[in-house]
Amino acid sequence: MSGIFQWREVQATEGAVVAPDERLPWPQTAAMGVQHVIAMFGATVLAPILMGFNPNIAILMSGVGTLLFFFITGGRVPSYLGSSFAFIGVVIAASGYAGTGPNANLAVALGGIVACGVLYILIGLLVQAIGTGWIERFMPPVVTGAVVAVIGLNLANVPIKNMAANNFDAWMQAVTFLCVGLVAVFARGMVQRLLILVGLILATVVYAALTNGLGLGKPMDLSGIAKAAWFGLPVFTTPVFTGSAMLLIAPVAIILVAENLGHLKAVTAMTGRNLDPLMGRAFIADGVATVVSGSAGGTGVTTYAENIGVMAATRIYSTAVFVVAALIALVLGFSPKFGALIQAIPLPVMGGVSIVVFGLIAVAGAKIWVDNKVDFSQNRNLIVAAITLIIGTGDFTLKFGQFALGGIGTATFGAIILWALLGRARNA
Give SS3 for 303: strand
Q: Is residue 419 part of a domain?
A: no
Predicted pLDDT of residue 224: 81
Query: Domain span at residue 105?
Result: 19-140+155-364
Residue 46: per-residue pLDDT: 67
Find residue 404's DSSP bridge partners: 399
From first CA to last CA, the distance across the chain in angstroms is 48
pLDDT of residue 87: 82
Query: Under a CB-based contact definition with an 8 Å cutoff, are residues 388 and 146 in contact?
Result: yes
Question: Distance of CA 62 to CAs 17, 29, 178, 233, 244, Å?
Answer: 26, 19, 30, 16, 27
The pLDDT tens digits of the residues spanning 2-51 come to: 567 789 888 867 667 888 888 888 999 998 898 888 777 766 776 787 68
Q: Does 288 fall in a domain? A: yes
**pLDDT value at position 11?**
80
Which residues of the chain have a pLDDT value below 50? none
Question: Which phi and psi angles does 302 have, rounded to 5°?
Answer: -155, 160
Number of separate domains in the chain: 1
Paired sense of beta strands 397-400 and 403-406, if any: antiparallel
pLDDT of residue 42: 65
Q: How far apart are CA 19 and CA 37, in angstroms?
A: 20
* pLDDT attached to residue 174: 92
Q: Is residue 310 part of a domain?
A: yes
Instruction: Say what the pLDDT of residue 88 is.
Output: 75
Asked whether residue 221 is assigned to any structural domain, the reply reads yes
Nearest to 179, CA basis, from 209, 199, 207, 206: 199
Instruction: Evaluate whether residue 412 is within a structural domain.
Output: no
Is the pTM above the cut of 0.75? no
The predicted structure's pLDDT at residue 190? 60
DSSP string, 345-405: S-HHHHHHHHHHHHHHHHHHHHHHHHHTT--TTSHHHHHHHHHHHHHHHTT-EEEETTEEE
Instruction: Determine the pLDDT at residue 287.
Output: 96
Q: Is residue 401 part of a domain?
A: no
375 assigned to some structural domain = no
Strands 397-400 and 301-303: unpaired
Q: Phi, psi (5° rounding) for residue 23? A: -155, 155
Q: 382 lies in a domain? A: no
